């Protein structure tokens, strides 16, 4: 019970929307906790769906294109470093990025 109340207080501090909610009994606390958990679960599901969406697009790329995107957006390499690693021009790196963006936009329109 104390752990639940503590977590609710933590959420209140991080989210002003909960500051005006006063919980007086165990039932109120449990109901509020269920709502918070449902919201967290929904957010996690959205993150997973987004990850799968992007991963599907990346997996359909050629290996060198996949490496280019991962080096940039996962490993945070500069475009110059990626160009050197992949042994392609800087312009080609941007073309790969644009290709992926266009694929994402096409899938979103479906």
pLDDT digits (tens, 9 = 90+) for 60-96: 889 989 999 999 999 999 999 999 999 999 999 999 9
Per-residue model confidence as pLDDT tens digits over 48-57:
998 898 888 8
**Which residue in 86, 22, 59 sits closest to 5, CA to CA?**
22
Predicted structure pTM score: 0.58
- Which residue in 101, 100, 110 sits closest to 60, CA to CA? 100
Mean pLDDT of 24-50: 83
Q: Sign of the CA dihedral 109, 91, 65, 46?
A: negative
Cβ atoms within 10 Å of 15's Cβ, excluding its own: 10
* Higher per-residue confidence, 100 vs 23: 100
């Amino acid at each position: 019970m104390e752990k639940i109340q503590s977590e609710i207080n933590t959420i209140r501090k991080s989210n002003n929307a909960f500051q005006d909610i006063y919980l007086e009994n165990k039932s109120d606390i449990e109901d509020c906790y269920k709502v918070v958990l449902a919201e967290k679960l929904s957010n996690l599901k959205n993150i997973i769906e987004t990850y799968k969406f992007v991963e599907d697009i990346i997996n359909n790329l050629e290996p060198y294109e996949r490496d280019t995107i991962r080096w940039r957006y996962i490993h945070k390499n500069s475009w110059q470093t990626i160009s050197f690693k992949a042994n392609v021009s800087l312009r080609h790196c941007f073309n790969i990025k644009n290709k992926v963006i266009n694929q994402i936009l096409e899938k979103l329109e479906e």
